[in-house]
Amino acid sequence: MKKRLFLVPLVGLILAALVMGGCGHSQSGTITEGGSSTVQPLADKWAEAFMAKNPDVNIIVQGGGSSAGVKGCAQGTFDIGAASRELKSSEASQWPDLVVTHVAADGVAIVVHPSSSIANLTLEEVKNIFANGSNDTWTVISREEGSGTREVFEKKVMAGAEIASNAEFLPSNGAVKQKVASTANAIGYISIGYVDLSVKALSIGGVTCNKDNCRSGSYPVTRYLNFITKGDTEDLIKRFIDFCLSSEGQKIVEEEGYVSVG
């Protein structure tokens, strides 16, 4: 009799594994989305709104970073991968069937402590500050190597120059914002969707960092936020992306502090 007691947890485990395994599949009715931490808050809202209209649909939103989004989509972990950058050439050649859809746009704000007397810098000045690194004048806060936000910052601001190794490297928009907000001489960069009163977004070359200037392209550090799918997407996935691109979906983009497209 006692021997059977061993079987109870065993059977339970097997059952649990079966049930969980069943959920993981992308059957009709479930979409798994994941990747960029910049896109995540937006994807959460889209999923919420879409599920409210389609009660039978279940959308799972995960983080992980842009590269994880691309890789996850290519390898089938995610139905939709989120990336706050374009595909790298290495990714495009490794997985040629990936399709990129611009679902929103975003500005990268250069932020300083609210008490700072500086309100405007040129691109060149920002570049020099980040290339020279932390010193008595500035505490430079950057994102980690491989971050989508860092990639667009390097492309549009650094233009080939390296961010100094003695800068601080923090792994998320939220962490950079917190650090800048608590350090008097800090300078960092975060997605415009994360900017609030705890930090001050600098004008670049006289152009204010706001959504209108990002949309018009006069603010220089902007990028697209992307959904990445495999070529032959299921109907449901297509319907979800169409919803994100619809006027209703783009209204959510604006409400969340990002820049709408189309």
Cβ atoms of 158 and 131 closer than 8 Å: yes
Number of H helices, E strands in the chain: 10, 11
Sites for other proteins among residues 15-34 (CB under 8 A): none
82 binds other proteins (CB under 8 A): no
Cβ atoms of 60 and 33 closer than 8 Å: yes
77 binds other proteins (CB under 8 A): no
In the complex, least distance from residue 211 CB atom to other proteins, rounded to whole angstroms: 26
Choose the stretch contacting other proteins; rule: CB under 8 A; options: 117-125, 139-147, 195-203, 245-253: 139-147
Among 33, 95, 28, which Cα is nearest to 62's? 33
186/190 with CB nearer other proteins? 186
Q: 190 φ, ψ to 5°?
A: -140, 160
Distance, CA of 59 to chain centre: 17
Could you give the string, one character per residue 165-204, with x where binding to other proteins holds by CB under 8 A and - elsewhere? xxxxxxx---x--xx--xx-xx------------------
Among 40, 42, 43, 71, binds other proteins (CB under 8 A): 71
In the complex, least distance from residue 215 CB atom to other proteins, rounded to whole angstroms: 27
Sites for other proteins among residues 140-159 (CB under 8 A): 141, 144-148, 154
Among 92, 98, 89, 123, which Cα is nearest to 108's? 123
Q: How many residues of this chain bind other proteins (CB under 8 A)?
A: 38
Among 230, 241, 225, 227, which Cα is nearest to 76's? 230
115 binds other proteins (CB under 8 A): no
Task: Kindly give, in sequence order, each residue whose CB lies less than 8 Å from that of residue 120, ignoring residues fewer than 6 positions away.
Answer: 202, 203, 204, 205, 206
Sites for other proteins among residues 243-262 (CB under 8 A): none
183/233 with CB nearer other proteins? 183
In the complex, least distance from residue 179 CB atom to other proteins, rounded to whole angstroms: 6
Which two structure tokens, joined as six digits, stand for 34? 């994941």
Q: By three-state DSSP, how is residue 213 classified? A: helix
Q: 83 φ, ψ to 5°?
A: -140, 135
User: Which residues here bind other proteins, judged by CB under 8 A?
Assistant: 1-3, 6, 64-68, 71, 88, 90-91, 134, 136, 139, 141, 144-148, 154, 162, 165-171, 175, 178-179, 182-183, 185-186
